[in-house]
Amino acid sequence: MGETEVCNRALILCGCSRGISSMDEKSAEAAVCKRVYLPAFRSLLAAHPWSWTVRICTLEQMDVSVPGWKYLYTPPQDCAVLCRVFNEEAGNAPFRMLTVEARKGVFEAAVATDLYRAYAEFRSSAIPPFMPDLFAEALAYRLAMEICVSLQGGDVNMREHLARFYNEAVQRAAWNDANEAVPADMGDDWADEYVRGRG
């Protein structure tokens, strides 16, 4: 589901008869959806470490330094959570997110580590063109919860009703997401261990 489909699902959930063709169209429904979409998306993103948001990129080294760390890198622009810093030779390494003075009076976020030519594994905050169905359904409930009061004349009971469905939808989506990913450090031994345990 894309943004517009999620918004239309949310509008249906809160009892609106009109849908939208774009969040940029000139309608009350589109204006409300546009106002709450990004905060609702970010809120849901923070509810669980969604595996489909994980990205890996090369970190760009900065020209400044701080005591206690060998290197400073610019964090990825769409980084919501930095999970690990690593390279091919050393594997994972300690790191810290800092704010540093990059130029006189100009402060920027930085990743401090002792690794040279480092990579970052992070959770992206970028809104994808399409998202998993169960996540999209949970997002639609979140949007419906936010927009129902504006579009349905302040119906607080409807908001509470939608909030219950939202919490259930988040749990379903998180459970499904957790079951789709097998941690890399489990290797192939987990299946043998399972068979031995059942024997």
Instruction: Output the pLDDT for position 8.
Output: 94
Is the pLDDT score of 140 beyond 80? yes
Is the pLDDT score of 112 beyond 60? yes
More confident residue, 105 or 140: 140
Asked if 86 and 119 touch (Cβ cutoff 8 Å), the reply is: yes
Count of residues in the chain: 199
Range 164-180 average pLDDT:
93
Instruction: Output the pLDDT for position 153.
Output: 72
Is the pLDDT score of 6 beyond 90? yes
User: What number of other Cβ atoms are within 10 A of residue 170's Cβ?
Assistant: 20
Query: What's the order of all strands across the beta sheet hosting 54-58?
Result: 54-58, 119-124, 79-87, 91-93
Alpha-carbon span 74 to 62, nearest angstrom: 6
Range 43-49 average pLDDT:
89
For residue range 185-197, list pLDDT tens digits in order: 555 554 555 555 5
Helix (H) or strand (E) segment spanning residue 54 = strand 54-58
